[in-house]
Each structure stands twice: as C-alpha cells, then as structure tokens.
Amino acid sequence: MHHYFGSKDKLFLAAVQAPVDPGALLPAALEGGREELGANLLRTFLSVWDGPTRPAALALLRSAIGNEWTAKLLREFLVSQVLRRVLGTLDLPTAEREARGALVASQLIGVVMARYVLRLEPLASASHESLVASLGPTIQRYLTGELELPGP
C-alpha cells in the first residue's frame, strides 16, 4: 500500500476516485482562524467546484445519488477527509463535532446541488464572494455558533 499510494489517505482518495486531495486545500480554509472558518471553507469548496475537476466531482456526486455504495464512499470522503479535519481544529465533544459536521455538510451539498446540478438562479451565476457573503455566516454558525443540535 505505501509503495503504490504513500499513505492510507492516498489509497482512500484513489478508491473513491476523488478529483482533489483535501489535504492540499484545507490549509487555505484553516488559515484565517476560527472566526473566518465558515467563509474560508466555503471559498475553498467553491474554488474546487468551479475548477477543472468539476466534471469528475459532478460524476461522483451523480453516482452517489443513485448508488448506495458510492454514497457511502462519498459520505466517508466528506466526513473523514474534510469535516473531521476542519472540526478537529475546534475544541468540541465528539457528538457535538459530528452534529455540527452534518449541518455543514448539508449546506455544502445543498450549494452544489442548487448551483451545479439544478443550476438554480441566481446561485448558478453568483460570484464566489457573493455566495461567501450570503452563506458563509450560516456555515460559521454551524461550526461555532449557538445551536440546538440535532440528535437522537
């Protein structure tokens, strides 16, 4: 495994045919600190989706919609490769971290569906910064704000 992929994370990225390596992108999302985490995470996320990897990312998302195995892989990718790393920078109990991560994921996946799959206007043609200004505070609240957390 180490000979071909270098690490367990790299093997996982190859297995899900991930269009990008979040480990290379997350430093940009984390660099502004706790107060800018929501905006920076969304800004980084949008840069990936508006970049050259969009066709591969959309193919993975569309496959996940109709295939439980692909959905499980995509879910694991989003949780283990992105959200755990972002939320790991915050001092939170495990259950709260998981609930906040699910809320953040719902917002990010919703943006992708509305902007890139459904092409819902004005989201589809909005600039990154207008989306960050509108949606960043919601993601920030999910990450660090007061919430009535979902749970069993």
Q: Is residue 13 part of a domain?
A: yes
Q: For residues 46-74, b (16+ Cβ closer than 10 Å) or e, as one string?
A: bebbeeeeeeebeebbeebeeeeebeebb
Over the stretch 9-51, which tens digit does the pLDDT of each residue have?
544 445 445 556 667 677 877 888 889 999 999 999 898 888 8
For residue 104, the enclosing domain spans: 2-144
Q: Is residue 102 part of a domain?
A: yes
Task: Tell me how many domains the chain contains.
Answer: 1
Residue 37: CA count within 13 A, CB half-sphere:
21
Q: Is residue 152 part of a domain?
A: no
Q: What is the pTM of this model?
A: 0.80
Q: Is residue 151 part of a domain?
A: no
Q: Is residue 149 part of a domain?
A: no
Q: In tens digits, what is the pLDDT along the chain, a chain of 152 residues?
A: 444 445 545 444 454 455 566 676 778 778 888 899 999 999 998 988 888 878 877 887 888 888 888 888 888 878 877 888 899 899 999 889 999 999 999 999 999 999 999 999 999 999 999 999 999 999 999 999 998 876 66
Which CATH number do you get for residue 96?
1.10.357.10
